[in-house]
Amino acid sequence: MKGIHSIITLAGLTVFGLAASITAQAVITTPGASANANANVMIITPIGLAKTADLNFGQVVAHTGGQVVIAPNGTRTVGGSAEAVPASSSSAATFAVTGNGANTYAITLPNSTTLISGSNTITVDNFTSTPSGTGALSSGAQTVQVGATLEVGTAQAAGSYTGTFNVYVQYN
């Protein structure tokens, strides 16, 4: 009996030793690797927009209606029977864009706006700009000029019409 007990004990120790050896080998021989990566960010100057001149259609005689167009370069043209008074001044709106270096930016113009004089209204639409759609800063600055079309109604009531419109810029 002693011989069998010795064999069982020896077999048990061999199995235990083998298991310990396998476990130890798994921990010791498992290959691994690691690497570092950099994390970066560049904080830039926020984009800015400031109006430097208003959109001005000048003085207009309505007659039976028409359009007065101010191009982004400030040129005024008249269509239909509307008539611009030649001595009256007109101008495109001008905005100063400021920001980071030579970044590009998107320009968003309104579809239309309404000018009001008392209970009377007139529509301004077809806004255009130079640059158009996308601008590019040069040393952190650029000028945006905005023109539009004044839709003069038939028998448009006389008056001083005013309103506002919004131009929006954002980095691309």
In a domain, 38, yes or no: no
- pLDDT above 70 covers a percentage of the chain that reads 83
- Residue 128 near residue 76 (C-beta atoms within 8 A): no
Q: How far from chain centre, in Å, is Cα 47?
A: 9
Q: Hey, which residues does 135 pair with through a beta bridge? A: 105
Asked, for residue 43, whether it belongs to a domain, the answer is no
Do 24 and 52 belong to one domain?
no
Per-residue pLDDT at 2: 54
Give the residue, 171 or 20, on which the prediction is more confident: 171
The encoded tokens of residue 172 equal 């691309």
Say what the pTM is: 0.79
- Gap between the Cα atoms of 135 and 100, Å rounded: 13
pLDDT in tens, 62-78: 999 999 999 999 999 99
Check whether residue 27 and residue 67 sit in a common domain.
Answer: no
- Calpha distance 98→138 (Å, rounded): 9
Q: Are residues 73 and 20 located together in one domain of the fold?
A: no
Q: Is residue 108 part of a domain?
A: yes
The CATH number assigned to the domain holding 120 equals: 2.60.40
- Domain ranges, residue 20: 1-31
Verify that 23 and 59 share a domain, yes or no: no
Residue 145 lies in a domain: yes
Tell me, yes or no, whether 22 and 83 share the same domain: no
Rounded-to-10 torsion of CA 128, 134, 139, 140 = 80
Return the pLDDT at 11: 45
- What is the rounded average pLDDT of the residues 39-56? 97
Distance between terminal CA atoms of the chain? Answer: 88
Answer yes or no: do 90 and 9 share one domain: no
pLDDT of 46 reads 97
How many CA within 13 A on the CB side of residue 51?
Answer: 11
**Is the confidence at residue 92, as pLDDT, over 70?**
yes
Q: How many residues are recorded in the chain? A: 172
Total domain count, the chain: 2
Note whether 118 and 164 are same-domain residues. yes
Local confidence band at 172 (pLDDT 50, 70, 90 cut-offs): very high
Highest mean pLDDT among 8-17, 19-28, 61-70: 61-70
Q: Is residue 6 part of a domain?
A: yes
Asked if residue 40 belongs to a domain, the reply is no
Residues in Cβ contact with 170 at an 8 Å cutoff, skipping those fewer than 6 apart: 47, 105, 106, 108
Q: Please, which residues bridge with residue 158 across strands?
A: none
> Per-residue DSSP letters for 104-137?
EEEEE--SEEEEEETTEEEEEEEEEEES-SEEE-
